Amino acid sequence: MALTSLVVCADAKAVQVLTRALHDLNFEVDNTGDTGSAQQHLTDKLFDLVLVDCENEPGALELIVALRAQFKRDLMIIAIVDSANDVREIFARGASFALYKPVSEERVASTLRAARGIMPSERRKKPRVPAAASATIAYENVESATANLLNLSEDGVAIRSGRVFSPRCKVYFQFSLPAEVSVVKLSGEVVWQDPSGRVGLRFSRVPQASRSLIDGWLREHLKKNVQHGPFALEPSQVAPGGLGLLAVSAPDRRAQVRHACRLGAELYRTGSKTPQRCTLTDISDGGCYVETSDTFAPSTQVEILVRTEEHKLKLSGKVHASHPGFGMGVEFTQKTGQQREQVKKLIDCRDLQEVSSERAPS
C-alpha cells in the first residue's frame, strides 16, 4: 500500500510542485486549501505525511497542535514557511521539518528525501526476516549490477545499492538465500528508496520454483527472526531516534548514537576555497551524513563549515560512502581535542532540529 499525504496549501503553483515530487516518492496526494477543511480530511482518511502552508500562521499552528495531539509522533508534519514566520514556535508546536518558500523543485525534493528517510516505507503486515546475501540485479539499461539483501518477506525485499532508481522502476534480480544453494530468480518494482542506498522492492512476478524457495526459507527463520514494520532493518543498522544514514554497510555500523538534524552547511574539498552548499541530516560523535547532489569519491578529505545562532563550527573528515544524486557519509577525523569539542558542540546544539539550509547565515 502506498504512503498517503495531505497538502494543506492554497497556492496552486506550489501544490503542483509538491504533488509532482510526492508522486515521485510513491505518495498518494490529497489537497485542501484551508486548515479548517484539513480536519475533515484527517477524519475521513489516514495520512502518513501532512504538509501545512503557514501563510496563515495562527490557523497553521492550531492545525499542527491538533495533529500532534492526535497522532503523537506517528505523523510526519512539514511546515511550509517564509521569513515572516516564527519557525521556532512552529517547531515547538510539533512540526517535524520546515520547507522554505519559494517552493522550488530542488527544495521540495531535498526536504521530502530527508523526511522520507525516517518514515516507514509501507504499511505492510507481512513479517520480514533479515537476509544478508549478495544479489545481481538488472534494470532499465543496466544488465548486471550488484546489491546486498537486507531483509525478505513474502511479497517484497529490501536491498542496499549505490545506484539511483527511477520511481517504480522494474528490476530483475537473482540471489541465493543464506545457507541455501538454489538460486531465486524473480522480478519486482521499486516502491521506495532513501539517501543511504536502501531500496524497497515489491515482487511482481515470482516463478513457482523461486516462490517455494522463499516460502520454505521464511517458514524456517520466522520463529527466530520475525521483525514487524515495513522492510525493517536489523537493530544494529537503525539509529535510536535518527536516520541511521551512516550505517551504509556492515563495516560502518558505528556504536555512537546518531541524531537526526537539518543543518545548513558549507562543504569544502580539503585544500579548496570553493564552498558547496549542503545539508547535514544525521550526526554522531563519529561522523555525519551530508545531503548534496554533487558528491565526492570515497576517501576524499573534506571540511564542513556549520553556522548556528550560537556557534561557527568547522569539522574535518573523509568521505566514507558516496551516493551520487543523494549525498555522502562522512567520517570525522578527530585528531585534536579541539576538533572533538567542535563535534560535541554541534550535537549539543539546542537548535539541531530547527536550523535549515535556507536560514543558515552566509
250-348 has the same fold as 129-237: yes
| C-alpha closest to that of 221 among 174, 183, 177 | 177
The per-residue pLDDT for 360 is: 34
In whole angstroms, what is the distance from residue 216 CA to residue 314 CA? Answer: 53
In whole angstroms, what is the distance from residue 168 CA to residue 153 CA? Answer: 19
Q: How far are the Cα atoms of 173, 186, 191, 259 from residue 206, in angstroms, in the given order? A: 11, 5, 17, 39
For 3-117, give the CATH class.
alpha beta
At 39-98, the pLDDT tens digits run 777 766 778 899 999 999 999 999 999 888 877 666 889 999 998 999 888 988 888 888
Query: Cell digits for 31?
Result: 489537497
- Burial of 82 from C-beta contacts in 10 A (0-12 / 13-18 / 19+): middle
The per-residue pLDDT for 245 is: 30
Query: Cell digits for 299?
Result: 576517501
Domain boundaries, the chain: 3-117, 129-237, 250-348
CA angle at 149 for the pair 144 and 153, rounded to the nearest 5°: 120
In whole angstroms, what is the distance from residue 329 CA to residue 22 CA? Answer: 25
pLDDT at 359 over 50: no
User: Residue with C-alpha cell 544478508?
Assistant: 132
At 190-200, the pLDDT tens digits run 877 766 678 88
| Sheet of strand 3-8, all strands in order from the earlier edge strand to the far edge | 27-32, 3-8, 49-53, 76-81, 97-100
DSSP string, 69-122: HHHTTSSEEEEEE-TTS-HHHHHHHT-SEEEESS--HHHHHHHHHHHHHTS-S-
Q: Does domain 250-348 have CATH number 2.40.10.220?
A: yes
At 133-191, the pLDDT tens digits run 889 998 877 888 899 888 888 888 888 888 888 777 888 888 988 878 888 988 888 87
Fold of 129-237: Thrombin, subunit H (2.40.10)
In whole angstroms, what is the distance from residue 295 CA to residue 293 CA? Answer: 6
Does pTM top 0.75 for this prediction? no
At 248-258, the pLDDT tens digits run 333 333 345 55
